[in-house]
Structure 1
Amino acid sequence: MAAYILAIDQGTTGTTVALVNQRGHLCGEVNYEYPQIYPRPGWVEHRPADIWNSVVKGLRTLQRRKLCKPSEIAAIGITNQRETSLLWHADTGEALHNAIVWQCRRTTEYTRQLQSEGLEPKVRRKTGLVLDPYFSASKFRWLLQNAKGIKGLLAKDKVRAGTIDSYLVWKLTGGRHHVTDVSNASRTSLMNIGTVKWDRELLKLFEVPEGILPEIVPSSGVMGVTHGVPGLPDGIPVAGMAGDQQAALFGQACFAVGDAKCTFGTGSFILMNTGNRMLASKAGVLTTIGWQLAGEKTPTYALEGGAFVCGAAVQWLRDELGLIKSAAAIEPLAASVTDHDGVEFVPALTGLGAPWWEPEARGTLTGLTRGSNRGHIARATLDAMALQNVDILRAMEKDLGKPMKPLRVDGGAAANDLLMQIQADVLGRKLIRPVMTETTVAGAAYLAGIGVGLWAGKKEVSKVWRADREFKVQMSAKRRTARLQSWHAAVQRAIG
């Protein structure tokens, strides 16, 4: 009996291919990186062929390990870097230009023009997103204006457009299916998240023809079957798909309203489940779609916010200041002091994200005295990583209108026990770290497994998900209030 799920986690710097069994255990994984391309300052691209080759290489390597028989693979799940956009030829599948990565800022002038025309409220009302080069719509517009030979190909209906999920399904199914799931579509600024359809007014605004875009489908359910994929037999269902952060929310089994997860990576990425309510944020976070299962009339919505610099602050201490020799060294250094002793580090090294949205803010290190040492700076850095998340989660609570539930955590820095305790203390909520911290992989696997009936639904997935450790609040409310006041004063200095 088929009892394994292949999960493809297509990320910004590389692709992970993993095998998950019916008990939710990670049986094996492999990761292959690929080049980042920077044609100009602020521009970031990927070669789609490099992305696909990293997937194929991962599939072949995993198959060579003989962890299961090909006939035992029940389905494939996909999770991906979300807003990265590309065009490809409808007949050959060849890319018409390098993919424009979510980090790329080449369309800044255009989005600012739309803002100056007063169009942001309309876009936000329909999509839940701000007008920013981050999202896919302006990237598609740029590609349609700059890809070689594009006009002739459009006239012949030979152009297909999509985010990375669409491209992978196209390649996995031999060009037979052009689809995207609701979570990825919600990050394009082209889908109305209320109707869950491509929006004609937005398509006209961004000059994107609807005919080149994929069909929007639920995040779970058979979307096609493999055909001609090196290293895989034909006929394996592609049955689960979600953007990386939504996949992490699903992979953390955050199925109830108020459930939230925080992924501690280069930045921090926070999503909170709001159920079938599409909440228009008044507190500075974004509204997005978490997922939609096959047969559900309404998607599950979420609030999303993120801090641009989280783990990257530790990298900065290591690489630019030489304060530590390795990222792991920050925990014992920070633990060498009892607290931050008045030192505040606001890591606005690339501006401030939610809920402040201050792109011109700059990093600051304040409160230094003659008694300040490396330990205080390290402790202030861990504090800052946690305090940024408090601001985002408090904003989400305000929008939700009720307290959040315990926060589920994942990502590389979630292994730092001191950071996790600090986060619980300054947030005033219990933290839960799962056994399987590869939560994007878990989410893709769970969605695919549900899609082919390996798990009956979210209730069964909740039984598969397992906690590793809980971090309970140890700080008094009085100390928490004082800590937040000191932090907010430092943030205001960074904003200027």
Structure 2
Amino acid sequence: MRNPFDMEDLDSAIEQETQDPFKDIHTHQSHDGPRSLLQQTEDCQGDNLKDRFIGAIDTGTTSSRFIIFDCTGVPVAKYQIEFRQIHEHPGWHEQDPFELVESVYTCIEEAMKTFLALGHSRDDIETIGITSQRETTVCWDWETGEPLHNAIAWPDTRTTGLVREFKAKKGADDLLGLCGIPLSTYPSSVTLVWMLRNLPEVKQAYDEGRLAFGTPDAWLLYNLNGGPDGARLVTDVSNASRTQFMNLETLDYDDRLLNFFGIDRNKIRLPEILPSADPEGYGWVRGGPLDGTPITSCLGDQSSALVGHCAFTPGSAKNTYGTGCFLLYNVGEKPVISQHGLLGTVGFQLGKHRKPVYALEGSVAVAGSGISFLMNNMGFFRDSRKVSDLAASVPDSGGCVFVTAFSGLFAPYWIDDAQGTIFGITQHTQRGHIARATMEAACYQTKAILDAMEMDSGHKLSELAVDGGMSNSDICMQTQADIIQIPVERPAMHETTALGAAIAAGFAIDIWRDFSDLKTMNRANRTTFLPHTSPVQSKKLYRQWSKAVEMSRGWLDTNSQDEEEETENGANGA
């Protein structure tokens, strides 16, 4: 493995505020093992929560960050760095697995410099939690620790043809009831099959029993624990539920699911599935300034945001506006299989002796990445934070509707053959109209998801908690409130995803023992956006959006594309 403290310049991408990476990083020596959790907890009994600290690793789709929180939920030190997005072909989206690890070590190094400069000690950090992008698929050699290919990221759509193949297979209709996720390019299952069929090095490792598979959390934990030397392969229930291999009821891999995809569990190393909070199962950091610090939580990023919003009671919901847009609705301690195009998933399980909490989820493929498209592809602006200013330069979208189906459309539509389509362009259309329509696309899809959740649950939300980069835009959040006709609540401290990982890590070592201990967490100075548009006008605009969605179908003629590829391959072979 390359030295995790050797960083190169990374390409620009969109997320929340970003700092330049520090380039002269020094390697730190390891010591023998983890500090005792029991000793830490006993030493800190009675201490003020402001004097107790938890670190949170947050690796999203475009960047990593490390944030140190005090136990009142206030961030005291932070560092963030972006990593490259690799797009070798249309619809392909990959990442360098080593860059994911390197970015995390760099963020820890730099955040710790700030923390120590404030007069704290490294031993003041009692534990670390991890949250990461989900569904992204990583395959590596278990014996050497070397990745066998780039990570294939969750927005990647190269598996569209495979999805059609599996949908026609006997037993396809049974999947949803077992794992809660419909067949699409989204979960890790079909991506793994594509890698086995198309990458000889992955297939060879599989046949020889050397293939390790995991989502980014498992890959990061494997490396943080020393790679081949630590030999730790673990994940949590929230991440495992996104692979399409885990049974929602048993919280374990299901042979019916594995067999459907042709995966022989005797040939592949699958991560052990643990609760989201566990005092021992996730090991400890080996190397760097936090060498020996225990890792006591692991969550998928959207589940972590649900915890960060303290959405512990059934009926609570949050929406994260990051690269994509993800709305999770707490349905309680029994899974709900959606009848209206949503995903059934595990929200979190904060300890072995606690029941899992399930959620309904609606996923929008394009949110912040739509802004990135305008910035990087269309040259609208150089700074993503200026999108609100550009959108505010016009009173509305001028009749322009942008169906941002760059990767098809996710919940509740599940339209694989849609492509990005702009309707309503006239000579009057300006850049501000396009910017506004891009933001509105995420808001309209959120409305569609909320409608589906209401039908599945039988209850209408009274308010929506929000976080993520686009939620910092007042005009976007006001638009969201106008479209869904309920209040939108934005916390003042917007690092909700990382906070969720910290909260879960604290539960693992009994910093908090009950959800009621967190009733004031991140509640101060919230901004509430109330609907300003009339219900009649809101319905009119939503009907226009729905019409545009229907018109975007079929732009990607996958059958014709497959025929053209076969003809071309045949000609080349001749």
Q: TM-score, normalised by structure 1?
A: 0.90
Q: Distance in 1 between matches of 2:379 and 2:523?
A: 38
- What amino acid is the match of 2:108? L
CA deviation after TM superposition for structure 1 residue 41, in Å:
4.4
Distance change in 2, residues 1:206/1:363 (3 Å): closer
Task: Report the more deviating stretch, 270-279 or 370-379.
Answer: 370-379
Q: Is residue 2:174 matched to residue 1:122? A: yes
**1:484 equivalent in structure 2:** 542
**2:408 equivalent in structure 1:** 351
Q: Distance in 2 between matches of 1:106 and 1:187?
A: 18
Q: Is residue 2:161 matched to residue 1:161? A: no
Give SS of 1:387's match. Answer: helix
Task: Report the more deviating stretch, 30-39 or 366-375.
Answer: 366-375
Contact 1:260-1:405 within 8 A present in 2 as well: no
Give SS of 1:463's match. Answer: coil
Distance change in 2, residues 1:427/1:5 (3 Å): same
| Structure holding more strand per residue | 1
CA deviation after TM superposition for structure 1 residue 7, in Å:
0.9
**1:250 equivalent in structure 2:** 307
- Alignment match of 1:197 (pick from 252, 261, 280): 252
- Alignment match of 1:225 (pick from 283, 292, 297): 283
- C-alpha offsets along residues 371-407 of structure 1, whole Å, 9 cap, x if unaligned? 6555544444443332221111111111111111310
- C-alpha offsets along residues 137-185 of structure 1, whole Å, 9 cap, x if unaligned? 2333444564538657865x54432222122222223325321100000
- Alignment match of 2:99 (pick from 31, 50, 54): 50
Q: Distance in 2 between matches of 1:370 and 1:48?
A: 46
Q: Is residue 2:289 matched to residue 1:237? A: no
CA deviation after TM superposition for structure 1 residue 432, in Å:
0.7
Alignment of 1:56-205 (within 5 A): 56-65=105-114, 66=116, 67=118, 68-144=120-196, 146=199, 148=201, 151=204, 155=208, 158-174=210-226, 175-205=230-260
- What amino acid is the match of 2:126? A
CA deviation after TM superposition for structure 1 residue 317, in Å:
4.1
Give SS of 2:512's match. Answer: coil
- Alignment match of 1:469 (pick from 527, 535, 538): 527
- Alignment match of 1:385 (pick from 442, 466, 474): 442
Q: Distance in 2 between matches of 1:238 and 1:170?
A: 12
Distance change in 2, residues 1:91/1:493 (3 Å): closer
Q: Distance in 2 between matches of 1:270 and 1:43?
A: 25
Q: Distance in 2 between matches of 1:90 and 1:6?
A: 28
Q: Quote the RMSD (CA, aligned, Å).
A: 2.7
Distance change in 2, residues 1:72/1:148 (3 Å): same
Distance change in 2, residues 1:60/1:388 (3 Å): same
Q: Distance in 2 between matches of 1:321 and 1:73?
A: 44
Contact 1:97-1:147 within 8 A present in 2 as well: no
- What amino acid is the match of 1:177? R
Distance change in 2, residues 1:275/1:492 (3 Å): same
CA deviation after TM superposition for structure 1 residue 460, in Å:
1.9
**2:16 equivalent in structure 1:** none
Contact 2:141-2:205 within 8 A present in 1 as well: no
Q: Distance in 2 between matches of 1:83 and 1:402?
A: 29
Alignment of 1:362-401 (within 5 A): 362-367=419-424, 373-401=430-458
Q: Distance in 2 between matches of 1:149 and 1:266?
A: 28
Give SS of 2:278's match. Answer: strand
**1:36 equivalent in structure 2:** 85
CA deviation after TM superposition for structure 1 residue 25, in Å:
0.8
CA deviation after TM superposition for structure 1 residue 364, in Å:
4.0
Give SS of 2:338's match. Answer: coil
CA deviation after TM superposition for structure 1 residue 295, in Å:
3.7
Unaligned 5+ segments in structure 2 are 1-42, 45-51, 555-574
- Alignment match of 2:339 (pick from 270, 279, 282): 282
Q: Distance in 1 between matches of 2:191 and 2:441?
A: 33
Q: Distance in 2 between matches of 1:290 and 1:263?
A: 14
CA deviation after TM superposition for structure 1 residue 423, in Å:
0.8
**1:425 equivalent in structure 2:** 482
Contact 2:237-2:348 within 8 A present in 1 as well: yes
- C-alpha offsets along residues 293-328 of structure 1, whole Å, 9 cap, x if unaligned? 214453111111122222333344445555556444
Q: Is residue 2:56 matched to residue 1:7? A: yes
Distance change in 2, residues 1:381/1:148 (3 Å): closer
Contact 2:156-2:185 within 8 A present in 1 as well: yes
CA deviation after TM superposition for structure 1 residue 27, in Å:
1.2
Q: Distance in 2 between matches of 1:371 and 1:232?
A: 57
**Identity of aligned pairs, percent?**
37
Contact 1:181-1:216 within 8 A present in 2 as well: yes
- What amino acid is the match of 2:160? T
Q: TM-score, normalised by structure 2?
A: 0.79
Distance change in 2, residues 1:40/1:428 (3 Å): closer
Q: Distance in 2 between matches of 1:37 and 1:241?
A: 26
CA deviation after TM superposition for structure 1 residue 446, in Å:
0.9
Q: Distance in 1 between matches of 2:429 and 2:140?
A: 56
- What amino acid is the match of 1:183? S
Give SS of 2:520's match. Answer: helix
- C-alpha offsets along residues 46-76 of structure 1, whole Å, 9 cap, x if unaligned? 3332222222222222233315312111111
Q: Distance in 2 between matches of 1:49 and 1:367?
A: 44
- What amino acid is the match of 1:404? L
Distance change in 2, residues 1:307/1:140 (3 Å): closer
Task: Report the more deviating stretch, 389-398 or 468-477.
Answer: 468-477
Distance change in 2, residues 1:321/1:58 (3 Å): closer
Distance change in 2, residues 1:52/1:375 (3 Å): closer
Distance change in 2, residues 1:384/1:149 (3 Å): closer
Unaligned 5+ segments in structure 1 are none
Give SS of 1:470's match. Answer: strand
- Alignment match of 2:508 (pick from 451, 466, 469): 451
Contact 1:429-1:472 within 8 A present in 2 as well: yes
Distance change in 2, residues 1:51/1:233 (3 Å): same
Q: Distance in 1 between matches of 2:391 and 2:192?
A: 45
Q: Distance in 2 between matches of 1:474 and 1:40?
A: 43
Contact 1:96-1:147 within 8 A present in 2 as well: no
